[in-house]
Amino acid sequence: MSEIVHDFTTDIPVWKPYVTPLNLADATPEQLEALKVTPSNTKVSDYVLVLAHDVETLTHRSPLFNGVMYNSGGLSRAEREIGAVGASIVNRCIYCAAVHASRYNQLTKSTDVIAAIFADGTEAEIEARLKAILNFAVKLSKCPPEANAADMAALVEVGLNKEEILDLILSTSLFGWANRLMHTLGEPIRE
């Protein structure tokens, strides 16, 4: 029996699409290129096979995603994950929240911050720097966005420089994108 996961968790569920993923045997050369499928690398997730139906955006989306989350300099990788988690909470993308919360826990070797955020959202009792980051991410993720000059000033006050703030804007916004794909095109399942 499998069931849909409705509550935030760091135990990563399985993602089941609502639409039919691309059948690799039917892929065009352009799709294979975007999927980075090679004779030695034929494992592609259902999620990416769904996105391959729009190959023109997928071609740019994959390097963009990796750059925003993993490029060097700027905001720490762990703090970028808080931007991702903040967006995923607003949009209630259980799958994205699970992946990026667990990545934060791996990077920081601690579970307290995520546990507090899952329990209390922006009211979580976490250190001031993380609180300002989470608050900005949550407010930017609302529709219309609610982040304001005071939220931006709060980031400076807790010590973020402009390069770090740009990375936070990018990782938070990126999950406004990812959540709208993952949460609307499929569902998180526990098998």
Partner 1 sequence: MAENEDVIAAIVGIEPGSAIAAVVAGRADIMALTQKTHDSALSPENPGGLSHAERAALAWRMAKINDNKTFEDHFEALLEKAGAPDAAARMADIWFDGGNDIRAKALIRHVDLVAHAPKQATRRDIELLQEAGLADDDIVRLSELVAFVSYQIRVAVGLELMRGLA
Q: Write out the residues near partner 1 by the rule CB under 8 A.
A: 18-20, 50-51, 53-54, 56-57, 59-61, 63-64, 67-68, 71, 73-74, 90-93, 140-141, 143-145, 147-149, 151-153, 156, 162-163, 165-170, 172-174, 176-181, 183-185, 187
Q: How far is the CB of 65 from partner 1 (least distance, A)?
A: 9
Comparison of 29 and 144: residue with beta carbon closer to partner 1? 144
Q: How far is the CB of 9 from partner 1 (least distance, A)?
A: 16
Comparison of 60 and 110: residue with beta carbon closer to partner 1? 60
Q: How far is the CB of 112 from partner 1 (least distance, A)?
A: 26
Q: How far is the CB of 170 from partner 1 (least distance, A)?
A: 6
Comparison of 61 and 77: residue with beta carbon closer to partner 1? 61
Show the tokens assigned to 42: 């034929």
Comparison of 82 and 147: residue with beta carbon closer to partner 1? 147
Asked if 26 contacts 1 with a C-beta cutoff of 8 angstroms, the reply is no
How far is it, in rounded angstroms, from Cα 124 to Cα 128?
10
- DSSP H helices, 37-161, are 46-51, 55-70, 77-90, 94-108, 112-120, 128-141, 149-157
How far is it, in rounded angstroms, from Cα 120 to Cα 137?
15
How far is it, in rounded angstroms, from Cα 162 to Cα 78?
17
Comparison of 113 and 140: residue with beta carbon closer to partner 1? 140
For residue 125, the tally of other CB atoms under 10 A from its CB is: 10
163 closest CA partner among 67, 73, 86: 73
Q: How far is the CB of 185 from partner 1 (least distance, A)?
A: 6
